[in-house]
Each structure stands twice: as structure tokens, then as C-alpha cells.
Amino acid sequence: MSLTNADVQKIARLARLAMSESEIAAARTQLSGIFDLIAEMQAVDTKGVTPMSHAQDVSQRLREDKVTEINQRELFQSLAPQYKGSPQVEAGLYLVPQVIE
């Protein structure tokens, strides 16, 4: 199948992956090869076949509506990434560049 550079750019943006021009070109070649592999299955007639999402035909189990988790903010926020040398948490909140709506 033929992917264009623009196709690759669009996918990269959807997946939040920064890619340079040359990276896009390289990805295009490799992805095209992989899609050729995948294309084999498209010709198969699957009319009337039920898609298989899970190995066993089991139903979702329901959990009792109880609070079971305790506050572990300190432990979890010790994992927060750093930016310019300081951990990106303040007043118990995670910090990210401002989002403008």
C-alpha cells in the first residue's frame, strides 16, 4: 500500500510523536513494508464471522461499591518528572505547560 509523507505526518501527530523530515521518510518506507504484510489478510472472506476480542466467552465481573484505596499522594508524586531541575508538582497538583482553550 502506498503511504504518503503527509499520511505519516498525520499519524505521528495523532500519536504525539515528534518526527523530523528524514524520520518521516524513513518511517514511510518501513511502514509501507509492514502494511504490505498486513494486506494479505484483507482479501480473506470473513462474512458471517464474529470478531474475537477475548479468548474465553466470559462476562465482566462486578466489584462491590466500596472505597478500598488510601491516600498515597506523597509516594506517587515522588515519581513526578523533573523540568529544569525541579519536580513538576506544586501544592499537590501535577504541572504541565498551560493549556489554552
| Distant-in-sequence, close-in-space partners of 95: CB < 8 Å, separation ≥ 6 | 83, 88, 89
At closest approach, how far in Å is the CB of 4 from another protein?
A: 12
Nearer to another protein, 2 or 50 (CB): 50
Cell of 31: 511502514
At closest approach, how far in Å is the CB of 17 from another protein?
A: 5
> Interface with another protein includes 88 (CB under 8 A)?
yes
> Interface with another protein includes 54 (CB under 8 A)?
yes
